[in-house]
Chain A
Amino acid sequence: MSGRITLAVAGRVLRQVRRDHRTLAMLLVVPCVLISLLWWMFEDLPGDLFDRFGPGLLAMFPFIVMFLVTSVTTLRERSSGTLERLLTMPMGKLDFLLGYALAFGLLAAVQSALAVAVSVGLLGLEVHGSVWLLGVVAVADAVLGTALGLLVSAFATTEFQAVQFMPAFVLPQILLCGLFVPREAMPGVLEAVSNVLPMSYAVDAMQELVGAADTGAIWRSVAIVACFALASLGLGAATLRRRTP
């Protein structure tokens, strides 16, 4: 592993994103628009529904977006021959993966900072915990999305397949993460499944932050998300092979 190469990969990925103005604009603007839409939808309803659903959405954006972006970009690296070329060079597999995680983690930090600023500043989302912790949670979610995206891209041979992994891998996590039905109120089997899905902990962390703000519980959830991310990166490294059939 080499810091120089990891940074080279991260810098290159960011440069590619910066060159693609439309993708960059969508990455940064769409979450803000969606969270505003959520707020508007609940505007005339009684209760604090925005406070209940908002944090979950803030946890999901970086995860979903980075999952999609990563699975497509890595697939492109595989099909364009650049990955094969890099792996014949002095590039460690972890250099490659961490470079991606670093670049998309940074991007997610900016994305979340904007979405949080809009939610808290304009839409009046109540955050009891510290706002910077919210950033930490968002980055952990993004790295998780990146890591899972890298992992599943190994099993996709076309971009169509890569995009199909989104409903297959991400939607079940959204349904079971406890946002729609509290996890403890689900049928036993589903609750057990929910307990082993990373998104559940990402949403837990966000809800903790906005609600009771028990810092210990937040860090525990963040740690669980980080463990999932590391495990996926490790598995992703195992799927990157210098020698292919």
Chain B
Amino acid sequence: MMKKVIAVRDLVVVRGEREVLPGISLDVSAGVTGLLGPSGCGKTTLMRSLVGAQRVRSGTVEVLGEPAGSASLRDRIGYVTQAASVYDDLTVAENLAFFARVLGVDRASVDEAVAAVALDDHRDQVVGRLSGGQRSRAGLAVALLGKPDLLVLDEPTVGLDPVLRRDLWELFHRIADAGAAVLVSSHVMDEAERCHRLLLMREGRIIADGSPDEIRERTGTTDIEAAFLHLVEDTEPAA
């Protein structure tokens, strides 16, 4: 049994009038874990809870053995929101140098992060003038600074071309191979195959949890999209 990196128990999050997470429980271990589900199912809210940015109503969230949001976790988690979360009026290198100073890591890790997302050729370009894909990779590079033990990535591959998506997934696997846990959300089901483990989410609940093969087998389907639909029809009360 691999060590648990994330342990969520009965987490309830209410945003406005809506109960976005009505009491979710899940575990995440090392490796690349995909959090898949349609837009609006609560993926972002769950990820924000993991990094301690979300106000929660009840339940427990433990990350790397400590309550989520603890001060000691702040330099151990790399987090990328759906927005690239970088400064558009600074260059790639300037952005990274700034965040590196905040994290207290050295300049060498800036070069490593730039190389990891293959932005060497663009390091002195202002982020606002980069393409959408390059911009989101700049945001990802910031999350890689200081080699965090956990990466929480909110839809990092959305809108990227197929080659770039493949490269990024390879990067996630390299990071996982080096010992970190990587949690990646996506609403594109065909990204499922690239994960060690999947959490399928719908309306604030986990409806399936296992390796892609296990989930396909359990539902008797050939791809994850069909498995998802099968699970949804199963849980829906007959009209």
Q: Which residue of B lies closest to A99 (CB)?
A: B102
What A residues does B62 contact at CB under 8 A?
none
| Cβ A244 vs Cβ B53 within 8 A | yes
| Cβ B55 vs Cβ A8 within 8 A | no
25 A-B pairs in the complex with CB atoms less than 8 angstroms apart: A4-B104, A9-B102, A12-B90, A16-B89, A16-B90, A20-B89, A80-B88, A81-B82, A81-B85, A82-B85, A82-B86, A86-B102, A87-B53, A88-B77, A89-B75, A89-B99, A90-B71, A90-B103, A242-B52, A243-B53, A243-B56, A243-B69, A244-B53, A245-B15, A245-B55
Binary flags per residue of B57-84, CB closer than 8 Å to A gives 1, else 0: 0000000000001010011010111111
Minimum distance in angstroms from A77 CB to a CB of chain B: 9
CB contacts under 8 Å to B, within A4-61, are: 4-5, 8-9, 11-12, 15-16, 19-20
| Cβ A90 vs Cβ B85 within 8 A | no
What A residues does B77 contact at CB under 8 A?
88
Which 10 pairs across A and B sit closest by C-beta, in order of nearness?
A: A81-B85, A81-B83, A8-B101, A85-B85, A90-B74, A243-B55, A81-B81, A12-B98, A88-B51, A16-B89
Q: A84-B81, A242-B69 are known contacts. Are A90 and B53 too (CB-CB below 8 A)?
A: no
What B residues does A81 contact at CB under 8 A?
81-85
What A residues does B169 contact at CB under 8 A?
none
| Cβ B85 vs Cβ A8 within 8 A | no
Q: Which of A8, A9, A11 has the most CB of B within 10 A?
A: A8
A interface with B by C-beta (< 8 Å): 4-5, 8-9, 11-12, 15-16, 19-20, 80-82, 84-91, 241-245
Residue B126 is within 8 A (CB to CB) of chain A in the complex = yes
Question: Besides A19-B126, A242-B53, 14 other CB < 8 A contacts?
Answer: A5-B101, A15-B90, A16-B90, A20-B89, A81-B85, A82-B87, A84-B85, A88-B51, A88-B77, A89-B99, A90-B71, A90-B75, A242-B69, A243-B69
What A residues does B104 contact at CB under 8 A?
4, 90
Q: Which residue of B lies closest to A84 (CB)?
A: B53
Bound Cα distance A91, B75 (Å): 10
Residue B191 is within 8 A (CB to CB) of chain A in the complex = no
Bound Cα distance A90, B148 (Å): 13
What B residues does A9 contact at CB under 8 A?
102
| Cβ B98 vs Cβ A8 within 8 A | yes
Which bracket fits the contact residues of B? 20 to 34
Secondary structure dominating the interface of A: helix
Q: Which of B15, B71, B81 contacts A85 (CB 8 A)?
A: B81
Bound Cα distance A243, B55 (Å): 5
| Cβ A244 vs Cβ B55 within 8 A | yes
Bound Cα distance A148, B104 (Å): 30
Q: A16-B89, A245-B55 are known contacts. Are A91 and B83 too (CB-CB below 8 A)?
A: no
What A residues does B54 contact at CB under 8 A?
243-244
Bound Cα distance A33, B61 (Å): 57
Bound Cα distance A90, B75 (Å): 6
Minimum distance in angstroms from B6 CB to a CB of chain A: 15
Bound Cα distance A91, B99 (Å): 10
What A residues does B112 contact at CB under 8 A?
none
Q: Which residue of A lies closest to B73 (CB)?
A: A88
What B residues does A8 contact at CB under 8 A?
98, 101-102
Minimum distance in angstroms from B215 CB to a CB of chain A: 31
Q: Which of B15, B16, B83 has the most CB of A within 10 A?
A: B83
Binary flags per residue of B120-163, CB closer than 8 Å to A gives 1, else 0: 00000010000000000000001000000000000000000000
Bound Cα distance A241, B54 (Å): 10
Bound Cα distance A15, B15 (Å): 37
